Amino acid sequence: MQFLKSTVMGLGSAFTMGSVGGLPFSLESAEPAYDAGLPDFILLRGKAKADGSSVAVFKSKQPSNALAQNALRRIKTLRHPNVLAYIDGIDVPNNGHVFIVTEDVVPLNAYLDDIRAEYGANSNEEKILIAWGLRSILGALKFINNDVKLIHGRLNPTSIFVTKGGEWKLGGFELTGEPSMSAPFVQHDHTVDPRFKAPECARRDWSSVASSPTYAVDMYALACLIIYLHHPSFSSPSDCSRVPSGLSTFVKRSTDATASRRLNPDQALTSAYFESHFLRQMTFLDELAIKSPDEKVEFYKDLSASIDALPKHTAVFKVLPALKAIVDFGVATGGKAGGNYKLDPSESHMLPAMVKIGSQLSPDEFKDQVLPTLIKLFGCNDRAVRLQLLQMMESFAVHFDAKLVNSN
């Protein structure tokens, strides 16, 4: 997978010092990173000057672009786990460009191409990753439509981006606004792909849009996105024969000609389609901080037993960082600097999963991404953790050299 490979291999690579509107970031290249098909921006890859971490840089195609300015204004305030994470941005004065810096992501279509090249079209991996992604976008719509009372206005494949861990994030807020005649999605409705446009928008019945549930326009577009994911050349919502049976009712209800009868994102999230073992694992991982020790023990055991079934990029870039964060938190909140510290006794059960993920990495990647955490664990004075480390020593001892052992 090109994006995932470049993420790992590019950690120490050189990059071009390009301008990002005076912000503390550098561009790898002035050329677009992907043929993303974004209507108002080009997507560039960059790095933070402070620590070299990778970022995505969205640069407006035209200077002083009102839609790009609206996208910047909205993404600054729309903070949610399922929304593209804003880092920095600027509307360069004196007829300059708009720059938006976000977490490192790729366009949805580029991600899908990688997944299908890696696992094959219609593979089980593709199916579970799409289900996870759709649930994330529903979570974003629940927040935007129900909580903030906004309409996204241009939900389609070009408004969705994916992290290296496989998490789908909603972006593309150029047309986002309150349901009113002055809203960008009203004034610029000609920029919306007709295939994703709700009937009331297609006939420009804006009074109907204003009086309908705030989610109606975007849920119609999401249903069309589901059709697109399984049939990219679809021409209308009726062309849904390839949609999985678990989503057919969702699509039919969300493309109802009567806006008030469309599914609420809240309702859609309760669908059995989102009840897979994989999705339950990802949900638990996101909620680790509020789980009881007994719940964590069962989760870690289940995770270790199913690591080989996880898509590799999800295991390496989603699961592994979450496990490492637990240790880092324990170190940060434990005793004096350099001294011993204690972890929750349940955390010893996460070691098999961590080491199994590490076994999928190259020796250099293991030393960079796993070994520092194992070294920290050797400073833990919890007997269960130390016993687990000793029992698993054979699995990772090859990565310890004499200098490292003596210094620690």
The string of pLDDT tens digits covering residues 350-388 is 999 999 999 999 999 999 999 888 888 887 777 888 888
pLDDT of 327 strictly over 70:
yes
The string of pLDDT tens digits covering residues 197-243 is 999 999 999 999 999 999 999 999 999 999 999 999 999 999 899 99
In angstroms, the CA 62 to CA 50 distance is 29
Q: Which tokens in the block code for residue 207?
A: 């009074």
pLDDT of 56 strictly over 90:
yes
pLDDT of 266 strictly over 90:
yes
Kindly report the average pLDDT of the chain as a whole number.
Answer: 90
Mean pLDDT of 28-33: 89
Q: Which residues contact 56 (CB under 8 A, 6 or more apart)?
A: 33, 43, 44, 45, 46, 101, 102, 103, 104, 105, 161
Q: What predicted TM-score, i.e. pTM, was given to this entire model?
A: 0.91
107-274: CATH superfamily: Transferase(Phosphotransferase) domain 1 (1.10.510.10)
2-104: CATH superfamily: Phosphorylase Kinase; domain 1 (3.30.200.20)
Domains 2-104 and 107-274 share a fold: no
Mean pLDDT of 280-286: 96
Q: Which pLDDT score is estimated for 253? A: 97
In angstroms, the CA 184 to CA 228 distance is 25
The 10 Å Cβ neighbour count of residue 12 is 8
Task: Map out the domains of the chain as residue ranges.
Answer: 2-104, 107-274, 277-407
The string of pLDDT tens digits covering residues 113-166 is 999 999 999 999 999 999 999 999 999 999 999 999 999 999 999 999 999 999
Q: For a pLDDT cut of 70, what percent of the chain falls above it?
A: 91
Mean pLDDT of 274-282: 96
